[in-house]
Chain A
Amino acid sequence: MKCSRLKRGLLLTVLLVVTGCSEPPAPTEIQLALAQETELWRAGASIYTPESYQQYLSALNSARDLYTRERSRMVWFRDYQPVAQSFAQVHAMGEKMQGEVQSVALQQSTEITQTADALEKRIILLKELSGTLKDRRLAMRKLTQADIRIEDARRLAKERRSKEANEKLEAARIDIDAVIKTIRPLLERFADRQQIARWKAQVDQALAESRREGKDLIIVRKVDRQLTLYRKGGRVRDFNAGFGFNFLADKLYSGDKATPEGEYKIVKKLPYSRFYKALLIDYPNQEDQQRFALAKKKKLIPANVGIGNLIEIHGGGDDSMTNGCISLQDHHITDLFDQVDVGTPVLIVGTIDYDNIIASALRGLN
């Protein structure tokens, strides 16, 4: 009897060993979930959806713990069904998150690209304005720095470093805004309809006088970089013109490198000039002197500066930069020089075009 029990016991043990020692295969859901976790990591889930990713990792770790617990049971007591279910749930969670990660990544990338594009557009606008107007205050090193920072931001965005990319864009925006803030006061009067109307009225009045008295007239439009010769109110010829380094400003004092605006006349013809040939105008006129005196009284200009003089229309090139004079190409000054006499009125205005390049650029910058 005892022997029989012993035999049965041994038989049972052998059976258990033989049938139970072969490890059941791990559920396929485990490999799927682990591969998915790597994919999520590669996709930048921890960056784009950190909270969801933490929840996902927590669920994955719970599933792994469950698997560990099952593996630590004796072979014949293991049940991988709950493990498979648990990993399947994690996988479903991960699939949902993959869509979320892609969506957030796309959104962040789009936002950065749009901001970078908008900032670049403003830089291009400012550089084009600088190129057209040739005013050195528009060509600022800050713009180049901002441009390089925008490029940095685009690279950082590609590396999924959205926060740093946005910081770079913010720095670029501050630089661009600083440039715009500096130049806006210079530009705004060229977009001011009342100011343009005043310039237009001056031009109309001068032309009417030229027509009425049969005289020559020179009108200079700074924004258009044009000098036009009129005779008896009719246009004779347009010449491209260059101005002072800071031509957007109305000349106020010596050394400000601005070209004056107002009504002048030719007071001297200089056939031999440092700049080929020159027509000297009577800057400063009475109005200039009043403005200068007021600015000095209000301490808006350095105490030791004078009002300046020797403003000429001369040769040397139509887009070279002067200290305030109006420069033409040499053959153009020859033509003009030969056609005008001392006493010819010279009217210098900003613009008579309400939709001039500066007004249009300011709209773009806004």
Chain B
Amino acid sequence: MKNLLVLIAGLALVSSLAGCAKPPQEEMNGTKAAIEAAAAEGSAKYVAEDNKKVNDEYAAALEEIKVQEAKWFKNYDKAKQLLAQAKADADALKAKTATVKEELKQEAVAAFAEATTAVTDAKAKLETAPKGKGSAADIEAMKADAAGMEAELATIEPLIEQGEFVAASEKAASIRDRANAISTQIDEAAAKKARK
């Protein structure tokens, strides 16, 4: 009987000690903050796949905490591990987001500069284009084209400011190609005229 009482007391002690284990609030807060920091950097926009992976990891960690909370014998070791992993990945996500974002921004800025130069060059060439027979109407049409490009060029900087780097790059590339096509046409016309 005495042994039985000792066993029960021992179990009660273990049970009470284990039941008192608290959820890893500090780790939860740290991971959540790391994920929010990555999100603030724009992870969902620039590295969506990685962003989802980290959020799924965090959700799995929270599920593990729920499991343990409902248990008599709580053990948050696995939850802590999962949270630590999610936090490390969130930190890496934030860094990766910043890198990708900066690369995209640089590409957009460069594309915008190229497009601006191309439009400026095309406009300058249009001013000095050979005004031989048959070219006046074409030059007028190309001037209208260049004016349209210039107007659309003005929408690229706001795109960059809004962080729409891919959109800005693609639009700039399209305008650059169109402007270069005008310059090529004028160069070809000038070369043709020079040969005559």
Would you give the shortest CB distance from B167 to chain A, in whole angstroms?
Answer: 7
CB-based contact B149/A148 at 8 Å: yes
The docked-state distance in angstroms from the alpha carbon of A71 to that of B133 is: 86
CB-based contact A68/B63 at 8 Å: yes
The docked-state distance in angstroms from the alpha carbon of A38 to that of B56 is: 10
CB-based contact A143/B137 at 8 Å: no
Would you give the shortest CB distance from B71 to chain A, in whole angstroms?
Answer: 5
Instruction: Among B68, B137, B147, point to the contact of A134 (Cβ < 8 A).
Output: B137
Instruction: Among A141, A147, A318, point to the contact of B134 (Cβ < 8 A).
Output: A318
Q: Across the interface, which residues of A come within 8 angstroms of B166, CB to CB? A: 159
CB-based contact B133/A72 at 8 Å: no
Q: Is B151 an interface residue (CB 8 A)?
A: yes
The docked-state distance in angstroms from the alpha carbon of A242 to that of B137 is: 10
Q: Across the interface, which residues of B come within 8 angstroms of A38, CB to CB? A: 52, 56
Q: Across the interface, which residues of A come within 8 angstroms of B134, CB to CB? A: 317-320
Contacts known (A6-B4, A139-B145); A144 close to B152, Cβ less than 8 A: yes
* Residues 135 to 188 of chain B near chain A (Cβ within 8 Å): 135-138, 140-141, 144-145, 147-149, 151-152, 166-167, 170-171, 174-175, 178
CB-based contact B67/A68 at 8 Å: yes
Would you give the shortest CB distance from A47 to chain B, in whole angstroms?
Answer: 12
Q: Across the interface, which residues of A come within 8 angstroms of B1, CB to CB? A: 2
The docked-state distance in angstroms from the alpha carbon of A64 to that of B66 is: 11
The docked-state distance in angstroms from the alpha carbon of A147 to that of B170 is: 14
Q: Across the interface, which residues of B come within 8 angstroms of A134, CB to CB? A: 137
Q: Is B194 an interface residue (CB 8 A)?
A: no
The docked-state distance in angstroms from the alpha carbon of A152 to that of B155 is: 12
Q: Is A145 an interface residue (CB 8 A)?
A: yes
Would you give the shortest CB distance from B24 to chain A, in whole angstroms?
Answer: 16
With a 10 A CB-CB cut-off, give which of B69, B70, B134, B171 has the most chain A CB atoms.
Answer: B134
Would you give the shortest CB distance from A273 to chain B, in whole angstroms?
Answer: 16
With a 10 A CB-CB cut-off, give which of B68, B71, B145 has the most chain A CB atoms.
Answer: B145
CB-based contact B137/A320 at 8 Å: yes
The majority secondary structure among interface residues of chain B is helix
CB-based contact B145/A144 at 8 Å: yes
The majority secondary structure among interface residues of chain A is helix
CB closest chain-B residue, reference A245: B140
CB closest chain-A residue, reference B175: A148
Instruction: Among B52, B70, B140, B178, point to the contact of A144 (Cβ < 8 A).
Output: B178
CB closest chain-A residue, reference B68: A72
Q: Is B3 an interface residue (CB 8 A)?
A: yes
CB-based contact B63/A317 at 8 Å: no
Contact code string A126-153 (vs B, CB < 8 Å = 1, else 0): 0100110010100111111101110110
What is the count of residue pairs linking A and B with beta-carbon distances less than 8 angstroms? 98
* Residues 110 to 144 of chain B near chain A (Cβ within 8 Å): 131-138, 140-141, 144
CB-based contact B145/A141 at 8 Å: yes
Q: Across the interface, which residues of A come within 8 angstroms of B171, CB to CB? A: 148, 151-152
Would you give the shortest CB distance from A184 to chain B, in whole angstroms?
Answer: 18
CB-based contact A68/B66 at 8 Å: yes
The docked-state distance in angstroms from the alpha carbon of A136 to that of B139 is: 10
Q: Is A162 an interface residue (CB 8 A)?
A: no
CB closest chain-A residue, reference B171: A152
Would you give the shortest CB distance from A14 to chain B, in whole angstroms?
Answer: 13
CB-based contact B148/A320 at 8 Å: no
Contact code string A149-175 (vs B, CB < 8 Å = 1, else 0): 101100110010000000000000000
CB closest chain-A residue, reference B174: A151
Instruction: Among B66, B135, B178, point to the contact of A72 (Cβ < 8 A).
Output: B66
The docked-state distance in angstroms from the alpha carbon of A163 to that of B149 is: 24
Contacts known (A68-B67, A72-B67); A320 close to B136, Cβ less than 8 A: yes
Q: Across the interface, which residues of B come within 8 angstroms of A149, CB to CB? A: 152
With a 10 A CB-CB cut-off, give which of A141, A147, A149 has the most chain B CB atoms.
Answer: A141
Contacts known (A71-B67, A320-B134); A155 close to B167, Cβ less than 8 A: yes
CB-based contact A142/B174 at 8 Å: no
Q: Is A90 an interface residue (CB 8 A)?
A: no
CB-based contact A141/B141 at 8 Å: no
Q: Is A94 an interface residue (CB 8 A)?
A: no
Contacts known (A41-B52, A72-B71); A140 close to B144, Cβ less than 8 A: yes
User: Can you identify 14 A-B contacts, CB atoms within 8 angstroms?
Assistant: A9-B4, A74-B71, A130-B141, A134-B137, A136-B141, A139-B145, A140-B144, A143-B144, A144-B148, A147-B148, A148-B175, A152-B167, A317-B133, A317-B134
Instruction: With A148-B152, A149-B152, A317-B132 given, name 11 new contacts (CB 8 A).
Output: A72-B67, A139-B141, A140-B144, A140-B148, A155-B167, A156-B167, A317-B134, A319-B134, A320-B131, A321-B136, A329-B133
B interface list, Cβ under 8 A from A: 1, 3-4, 49, 52, 56, 63, 66-72, 131-138, 140-141, 144-145, 147-149, 151-152, 166-167, 170-171, 174-175, 178
